[in-house]
Structure 1
Amino acid sequence: RIFDEQGHILNTLPLSDKNTNVTLERQTLVDLLKSYLDDELFHFNHKVTHVESNGTTGTIHFKEQSAVQVDMIIGADGIRSQVRQSVQPKNKVQYQGYTCFRGIVDDMDMLKPIADEYWGQKGRFGIVPLLDGRAYWFATMNAKENDMHFKKFNKPYLQAYFNHFPEPVRKVLDLQAETAILHHDIYDLKSLSTFVYEKNIVLLGDAAHATTPNMGQGAGQSMEDAIVLSNVLKKYDTLESALKRYNRLRVKHTRQITKRSRQIGKVAQKANGLSIKMRNRFMRLLPRWVMKRQTQLLYRTKSE
């Protein structure tokens, strides 16, 4: 649900009735995925400096360890990817004009498993229910990149900043531990025309298509990438054919999601009073089926 800063509902964004939607902490997901792999497959504290390939053999260079040679390099090293920097040095992250605070609280006791957002002139606040009475929250405010004003924000600053927002927002901030608030600016990545380079270097997740968090699709699209890549490697006889199919399935789809997420952020972060009145009025008049179409793109994906 989307509310204005007085708590009046602007609209609802229904999810697909045919799919199960689960929200869990990132660390829980990481631990779950790791549990299916043998410990010897992990090599921690290996900082990649760059990669290269002759089209047949890929070489990964590390800051401290010796380089290794492999048949294929999968760059899944995030928005600041060193793998992407090696193959696309001119591609840069794009600051989106707002900064974000995040946290997780206990004992929220939300009555329904419904995610809520509150859109106001000074910023936006979201609350997402987790398991066992916990809740994830985020707050976004328009800001300059690396804005020193917001770098000094702590719990009391946030409480004062959002003091005029509805009771659920104030309750979340009251419950939040002082030392467990995360803060970072919001970026995305200029769309790439391909995720495959030198025949055997492939980008995956944020390294390929980092997006703003407005649709909650960062980790989701990364997992879709991994599933598709695994499936095509099993299905096709040659690496070239498999990666060509991966490109076809993932580049256009993730580009659309990144673009739409960026657009949602621009609408939600409006700060001009007249623009906000026009936006809120428009949001209230939008039919439910139009809102539902905003999420249908997420389900139009192929696994191989």
Structure 2
Amino acid sequence: MKITITGAGIAGLCAAIAFTKAGYETTVFEAAPTIMPVGAGLGLAPNAINALAALDIADDIIPLGRRLPYFRILDRSGKVISENNSDMIGRKFGLDNFTIHRRQLHNALLSEVDPASIHAAKKAVGLENDGSQLRLHFADGTSFKTDYLIVADGINSVIRQQVAPNAQKRYAGYTCWRGVIDNAGALAEGASETWDTTGRFGIVPLPDDQLYWFACVAADANDARYGNFVPQNLAQHFRHFHTPVPEILARAHGQALLHHDIYDLAPLEHYAYGNVLLIGDAAHCATPNMGQGACQAIEDAATLYTELCKDVPLENAFIAFEKRRLERTQYIISQSRKIGSLAQIGNPLLASLRNTALRLAPASLREKQFEKLYNVTF
């Protein structure tokens, strides 16, 4: 039996780990010329930590990260609008506000997968299904026969678009820059986002004295005004923001930035298509406003693992996976999009009303939201 995975990012590697632990061999194809993570920092919430534990790899990954004491939403002056205390959340749901550099997480996952099973520079561009076997076609003109295919090659997946032709990317209305600075020192103790009518700025301390930052500005898709922005441009745009935002952008001077318009994927009706299964961003890409992108990819793998262990035909395991994952991931897509719209409000009056409402929101409301997000079993 041949099982193939397209994509060697977090979703694809976690899926390979799930199959291996369930007793299956996989072949992984990655479009990039080398197996190298692209990104900066990321956070893992309790649901992701519990999913890593279900895959029996949490103990290898937790020492690589850093637990932060809080997450705050601030206004431009630095005044707290809302705060989530990590100790309080952790007592009920497990390790929270855990940050790690994407490179470290990716390398830890890679170490769990047989290197001989991973092939780079193999961009999947087409799929044939003769009813009994699949033939995967690559951009280099080669092809590969397989019995089952796990599609984990992201929001722009060509194969996803072939099996689910009605899938639609949706622009969120803002563009985002990301970077990491070294020797961060005492610039920030916890994670924060500053919300203002002119844009949004996020700060996430990482292990090894690094700090991940991001900046979001409302813009048209492919907006020419922002295509060539460098840290100096961002420093000018966010010059009125509280400390340490100006210091962070000054420290980023001369660095190459990651810059992307923000998209999500309109909710799909299915993830399972016979002997083909969509996972990760190829299935349910959400905007990053809930910090759940990597978390949901890991959840996918943990859920898949439990279904694979039930000794049923893989098609049945894929259908069971879909039943367990569809509603939850659709909820996260919807909520994350709403949070992004709320955070990017450009009208001063509406922004003031938003800030007041968040300051007055009872803790019980946030706890209810945490319950829905973090209380998941595998």
**TM-score normalised by the chain length of structure 1:** 0.95
Which stretches of structure 1, 4 residues or more, deviate above 3 A after TM superposition?
110-113
* Aligned ranges 1:86-105 → 2 under 5 Å: 86-105=162-181
Residue 68 of structure 1: aligned partner: 144
Query: 1:230 Cα shift?
Result: 2.3
1:40 to 111, 116, 120: 116
**AA at the equivalent of 1:272:** N
CA contact (8 A) 1:72 1:201 kept: yes
1:7 to 73, 78, 89: 78
Residue 124 of structure 1: aligned partner: 200
Q: Distance in 1 between matches of 2:131 and 2:275?
A: 6
Is 1:261 aligned with 2:332?
no
CA contact (8 A) 2:188 2:203 kept: no
Residue 222 of structure 1: aligned partner: 297
Q: Distance in 2 between matches of 1:203 and 1:162?
A: 39
Q: Distance in 1 between matches of 2:253 and 2:125?
A: 36
Query: 1:100 Cα shift?
Result: 0.3
Q: Distance in 2 between matches of 1:219 and 1:97?
A: 22
Moved more, 288-297 or 59-68: 288-297
Q: Distance in 1 between matches of 2:150 and 2:206?
A: 31
**AA at the equivalent of 2:127:** V
Q: Distance in 2 between matches of 1:250 and 1:80?
A: 20
Residue 262 of structure 2: aligned partner: 186
Please list the CA deviations of residues 159-206 of structure 1 after superposition, one character each: whole Å capped at 9, or x if unmatched: 111110001111211221423211110000000111011x10000100
CA contact (8 A) 2:134 2:148 kept: yes
Moved more, 269-278 or 173-182: 173-182
Please list the CA deviations of residues 123-162 of structure 1 after superposition, one character each: whole Å capped at 9, or x if unmatched: 0001011102211111101000000101121111111111
Q: Distance in 1 between matches of 2:189 and 2:296?
A: 22
Residue 200 of structure 1: aligned partner: 275
Please list the CA deviations of residues 191-247 of structure 1 after superposition, one character each: whole Å capped at 9, or x if unmatched: 0111011x1000010000001000111111011111211221121321232111101
Distance change >3 Å, CA 189–CA 254, structure 1 → 2: same
Structure 1 vs Structure 2: percent identity of aligned residues? 39
Q: Distance in 1 between matches of 2:81 and 2:321?
A: 39
Q: Distance in 2 between matches of 1:33 and 1:50?
A: 27
Is 1:145 aligned with 2:216?
no
Distance change >3 Å, CA 188–CA 65, structure 1 → 2: same
Q: Distance in 1 between matches of 2:188 and 2:245?
A: 16
Query: 1:293 Cα shift?
Result: 2.8
CA contact (8 A) 1:103 1:182 kept: yes
Q: Distance in 2 between matches of 1:261 and 1:98?
A: 14
**AA at the equivalent of 1:206:** D
3-state DSSP class of the match of 1:138?
strand
Tell me how large the CA RMSD over aligned residues is. Answer: 1.5
**AA at the equivalent of 2:153:** D
3-state DSSP class of the match of 2:119?
coil
CA contact (8 A) 1:121 1:271 kept: yes
Moved more, 164-173 or 285-294: 285-294
Distance change >3 Å, CA 227–CA 113, structure 1 → 2: farther
Q: Distance in 1 between matches of 2:310 and 2:169?
A: 33
Unpaired segments ≥5 residues, structure 1: none
CA contact (8 A) 1:91 1:190 kept: yes
3-state DSSP class of the match of 1:89?
coil
**TM-score normalised by the chain length of structure 2:** 0.77
Q: Distance in 2 between matches of 1:74 and 1:233?
A: 13
